[in-house]
Chains A and B, each alone.
Chain A
């Protein structure tokens, strides 16, 4: 399953790279990419683990850049 999000307020490119790296390590994630320029986060992961993946990803993002709002597309 592929889920897409917009990361509003994403301002720091190296933070985006850190988020991408951390999200890719979440259990059940096949591939996650963050495009800094379009502020898009695309997560490809196992269907049944998706809710927990999203929760975990949000925690990671907030932890790295506090002001970022993760909106589902």
Chain B
């Protein structure tokens, strides 16, 4: 880059000298002026000419070096010496700016992905050795000091600390860790010293997976990128072809048309014939968008998905674990003829042998040790509930169906949660309502999606109708399908596909645990809570590292911004070039404008693209 700069300065000075000679010396010294132009041309553009000649021997005709050389030598041949030098000079200045701009964006991308740990302190015997993370194996013990990046995934065996997960999740609140907590590579250990047992090799650890994903995202190209590649393939040959016609036809066909004049116009065509501005800036926009999203804890697996996000019409949500926390708790305890504590005690004891989320929530609500001696004859009645003998009493715990089956009179209750009835010695004893909690940002997410012109929001759930409808109503979801078995979800998705426009996209948001087929079927499969869950990372097209549904809105905003910038560049670059082409064909502009249309536009487009990096 330095060498190029010096060449530009020296060549530029020689060029200015040549220009001033023009003013002060008589035509007798014309040859001296030409010589000076030639010298400045060679200083500035010698390397371009050299490359051009080499490439011709390799058979690449539409190479930009060749086209520039052709244009400038052409200018010399028709006596437009200053034009020839200026085009080369500006071209070089443009290249300089361009490599500077590219360099700068490369650096910001590198810093965006600067989550790669450089080393690990591993315990070898009594000694602590500093090694490359690649050389650490599963089961090794590593020490992570304050301020260091955690090099491999593992479990803390000693020490307490706070870790900063922001590089992976975009979440700025640090997480507390202590013995038994699992830690992920790429996070930063903030204060204490921790001893960690490694659970995954470096190549398998979170940080490698994330970096791999982001770096390989460019292999899945967006439609805009594909368009540009195709466009570039046609653009150069067409422009060069027109240039050729322009140089030959008018002088032959039109009376009095000067060859030099039309030749000059044709040369301007050659100068604008490179599609560089588009070829560099469009992929950069998308890559920047993907990088910016990963900074916010959203991994997008390809430019095509980033593009599709902006075209989403229908967003389908799974309920449990996506819009709700997936943690059940006892909301209401309504006893009849016994105390609240007794009611909860009977329920918790009856359910004590089950690991169902509802049973677990009852045990949590009860909060005391279960004394197994007080309970006997536990019998599960599938689809209904449980019967058991507790403290010598015959206890029934279950749903409406169980009460009806056992002919126990009770009041049917319309509730937004799961209702658990309890009967003691065939007498109704009350009920407990258990429900899942909504995530704090769920309602805001749905509201924002609607503002962003999402046509339809849909919720799929295996839960019962009452629960589903209530949640949908609170959140403002348009449509809800309840009582679904896992297999039914794909079927419902097929139905929904019929309701979108041909170019619109359907996104499905799930937790990635048992909805892999649905994630795969949707245009865009979005998995939540990807941090530490390989299944989710594998199955989805877009992975949200945290548990916040609001990140979907963030991802769509980034997608919109990226597309806006990409389109701006396409319209701007093609617009300026076409305008200059028309003006030069009409002879209304000079090669000076043409060279701006080439390099100036490229630099501006690259600078515009790099805005996506600050998503």
Contact = CB atoms under 8 A, between A and B. Distances in A.
Interface of A: 11-14, 17-18, 31, 33, 35-40, 42, 63-64, 66
A35 B218 contact: yes
Contacts, number: 53
B91 to A, nearest CB: 13
Contacts of A13: 102, 276, 279-280, 283
Interface string B42-68: 000000000100100010100010000
B275 A11 contact: no
A64 to B, nearest CB: 8
Interface in B489-531: none
B232 interface: yes
A56 B79 CA distance: 45
Nearest to B64: A14
A33 B64 contact: no
Given A14-B64, A35-B215, 10 more contacts: A11-B99, A14-B274, A14-B280, A37-B105, A37-B106, A37-B283, A38-B106, A38-B287, A40-B215, A64-B60
B275 A35 contact: no
Q: Is the interface of B mostly helix, strand, loop or mixed?
A: helix
A18 B276 CA distance: 12
B216 interface: yes
B17 interface: no
Nearest to B277: A13
Contact of B219 (A18, A31, A37): A31
Nearest to A4: B215
Contacts of A11: 99, 102
Nearest to A64: B60
B609 to A, nearest CB: 10
B106 A33 contact: no
Given A11-B99, A14-B274, A37 B109 contact: yes
Contacts of A42: 216, 219
A9 to B, nearest CB: 10
Contacts of A38: 106, 109-110, 113, 215, 218, 287
Interface string B104-117: 01100110010000
